[in-house]
Amino acid sequence: MTEGSRGEGSQKEEIMAFEHISVLLYETVDGLNVKPDGIYVDATLGGGGHAYEVCKRLGEHGRFIGIDQDAEAIEAAGLRLAEFGDKVTIVRSNYVDIDNILKSLNISKVNGIMLDLGVSSHQLDTVERGFSYKENAPLDMRMDVRNPMTAKDIVNNYSEMELYRVIRDYGEDKFAKNIAKHIVNARKEKEIETTYELNDIIKAAIPMKMRVNGGHPAKKTFQAIRIELNKELEVLNNSIDKMIDLLDDGGRLSIITFHSLEDRIVKTRFRNNENPCICPPDFPVCVCGKKSKGKVITRKPIVPSEQEIIENKRAKSSKLRVFERRIL
């Protein structure tokens, strides 16, 4: 094997290692209405699946910016998108900084932005990242390993009331109070260090009959801790309005969500940008001065086909919503 062919092989292995099947791939990219000479941003780049489909549709003067906070995602996407050369710029950051990132690239407006929220298949399947309750690993759950705080810190240092709030609000678990109590009692004996240790504590907090019928008992608590640690809902809520402001006339924002908490934020922010008027309904004319920024393209969210769910079970809960910017 030549040096060059060995390099190509290792590149392919690295791309394969970042295994992530893009959810609602064509629906998301079609929703952007890609213009060949447009500028597009994937603010949750991941392994570059959605990005590759956008880049394929770009012409000579098209441009693509990928943003992700996960170093492994950045590396895998860089390899996958290498064939598109200078059209592609990849930045390691959190998408909440999208305005500053684009400003640093001398870009004032873009033609489309997409977000694929939540945790990637690669992150779930990389055991040592500690995202999954199905494998035993250190309690980590950081999407950006530069973050000094881990899930272990939350589990061992948050007060019982803080844990209750997190599990109730972000996990929507009706046993949140009891789970928080069990965590605090368990850590008095020893520090909680692994996913399986936390699993056992959660199981003990949930009645047996509910464990039989309610899916994996730890699922909601793990989701809640991950959301709290990575500030996922806060970042989403603080980003949508600025993303819409960054769109050129006719530009589109496509967002894929995976649970009701995310979807509720997207639905509400899209609706408020379409109709921001706060005047009482009986006023004959608007006097608040708030102007619509565009329209919601998806009155109902787009969901995956039965075939996609069969091929990729993680697509099951996904929903796509699309907003189009209108500059009057």
> Each residue's pLDDT tens digit in the chain (328 positions)?
333 333 455 555 544 445 557 999 999 999 999 999 999 999 999 999 999 999 999 999 999 999 999 999 999 999 999 999 999 999 999 999 999 999 999 999 999 999 999 788 888 889 999 999 999 999 999 999 999 999 999 999 999 999 999 999 999 999 999 999 999 999 999 999 999 999 999 999 998 877 767 678 999 999 999 999 999 999 999 999 999 999 999 999 999 999 999 999 999 999 999 999 999 989 888 899 899 999 999 999 999 999 999 999 989 999 999 999 999 8
pLDDT of residue 121: 80
Ramachandran area for residue 310 (φ above 0: left; ψ -120 to 50: alpha; else beta)? alpha
Cβ atoms within 10 Å of 219's Cβ, excluding its own:
15
Identify the CA nearest to 32 among candidates 88, 113, 108. 113
Residue 253, SS3?
Answer: strand
β-pair type (319-325, 247-257): antiparallel
Distance, in Å, from the CA atom of 250 to the CA atom of 238, rounded to the nearest integer, reads: 22
- Domains of the chain, by residue range, sit at 3-122+232-325, 128-230
Fold of 128-230: DNA polymerase; domain 1 (1.10.150)
Identify the CA nearest to 73 among candidates 100, 53, 97, 44. 44
Identify the CA nearest to 247 among candidates 101, 111, 115, 103. 111
Q: Name residues whose C-beta falls within 8 Å of residue 150's C-beta, 6 or more positions apart in sequence.
A: 130, 138, 139, 140, 141, 142, 229
Contact between 256 and 117 (Cβ < 8 Å): yes
Instruction: Label residues 197-208 b or e (16+ Cβ within 10 Å = b).
Output: bbbbbbeebbee
pLDDT of residue 212: 67
Residue range 3-122+232-325, CATH number: 3.40.50.150
Which residues are bridge partners to 135 per DSSP?
A: none
pLDDT of residue 21: 79
Pull the structure tokens for residue 210: 């509910």
Cβ atoms within 10 Å of 209's Cβ, excluding its own:
8
DSSP string for 296-327:
ES-SS-B---HHHHHH-GGGTT-EEEEEEE--
Contact between 71 and 291 (Cβ < 8 Å): no
pLDDT of residue 208: 85
| Alpha carbon distance, N-terminus to C-terminus of the chain | 60
Contact between 224 and 198 (Cβ < 8 Å): no
pLDDT in tens, 131-168: 999 999 999 999 999 999 999 999 999 999 999 999 99
pLDDT of residue 16: 47
DSSP string for 173-209:
-TTHHHHHHHHHHHHHHS---BHHHHHHHHHHHS-HH
Residue 212, SS3?
Answer: helix
